[in-house]
Structure 1
């Protein structure tokens, strides 16, 4: 009985998230309201608040749902048996191309000032990604793959996140000025290899 209830709640949560995603894409973050989402989902406003305490919690759910497939690919890459240098480059590629496929969502979120709670939620997700990069840099260091230079895995992970975020933000905010995403990914890949990793024997 409890399992069936949990499944029903998860299905409702997913359906509300899908409705919110459609509303967000149509009107942008600033104009998105709980009333609009409730109407699109075909539920009462009270039901909506049973699942999400406010608009920001709802939008974070939309983001997490949108990135579910990408998150799975990221997990697979991080646990792959390939050299850490390859996994780092592949991870950076996955993030850039994955967000590129969801560019419309990013643009919808940029329709107005971002409130502190939503900004904090996005920052938390960014920090989790940084931890992935730092872990892979540590593994690369332990395997002797890194160039000597005295920089810590934490410093390198932070810098790589800044590089990736810079590409993503530019492509979301100024898409018309950007080259094909594969050009950006190829440049990022080359920078990672040349800046931080030993030449392959």
Structure 2
């Protein structure tokens, strides 16, 4: 019987993905080399190749792991007893909290998915659609106009427009952090500008 992978193996793998995501986010996937990833990780190239066969494997793992976490988050929400506005607010808070610790991975997902091969890109996009559908269902549940269900997805995409691009202007150490922004996004989306309260 083969031995299972140690916890240190998974820790090392996560560290490599985090460093690669940081480089891809800052330099772009095409401009980043495996040499640069190895250097950022403090590893030899031989050790890096023990974990990932090439730069493309890193890209697939970063994008797929990130979107899988988002999809799992939406799936978990469906098991909770929250309904209506409380459910949507909780979903928004959780997704904003997830982005707080995954800004580089999210930038890679939004900007570098085009470099994935068709099968990999389709798998990632299918998971993204699951996330959008979960949010669209929550949005539809809070709308009083049930006669126009076609608006749920466009409204969901507008909501994601607010959330997805926070990483482009949110800076660490400022008065508004990701924990504060979740309720603000929910207030703005659900109630309009006049309903937004400072944390």
The structure richer in helix per residue is: 1
Q: Classify the secondary structure of the residue corresponding to 1:127.
A: helix
Q: What TM-score comes out, normalization by structure 1 length?
A: 0.61
- Of the candidates 118, 121, 135, which is equivalent to residue 133 of structure 1? 135
* 1:111-126 paired onto structure 2 within 5 Å: 115-117=114-116, 120=121, 123-126=125-128
Cα distance, 1:122 vs structure 2: 5.1
Are the equivalent residues in 2 in contact too, given 1:33–1:55 (CA < 8 A)?
yes
| 5+ long unaligned stretches in structure 1 | 195-201
Could you say what the CA RMSD is over the residues aligned between the two structures, in angstroms?
4.1
Cα distance, 1:91 vs structure 2: 0.8
Are the equivalent residues in 2 in contact too, given 1:20–1:58 (CA < 8 A)?
yes
Cα 1:102–1:149, aligned 2, differ >3 Å: closer, same or farther?
same
Q: What TM-score comes out, normalization by structure 2 length?
A: 0.62
Query: Corresponding residue for 1:37?
Result: 37
* 1:48-127 paired onto structure 2 within 5 Å: 48=49, 52=52, 54-63=54-63, 65=65, 73-107=73-107, 115-117=114-116, 120=121, 123-127=125-129
* 1:13-24 paired onto structure 2 within 5 Å: 15-24=12-21
* 1:150-165 paired onto structure 2 within 5 Å: 150-152=147-149, 155-156=151-152, 158-165=153-160
Which is further off, 27-36 or 127-136?
27-36
Are the equivalent residues in 1 in contact too, given 2:38–2:45 (CA < 8 A)?
yes
Number of residues of Structure 1 aligned to a counterpart in Structure 2 = 178
Cα distance, 1:116 vs structure 2: 3.5
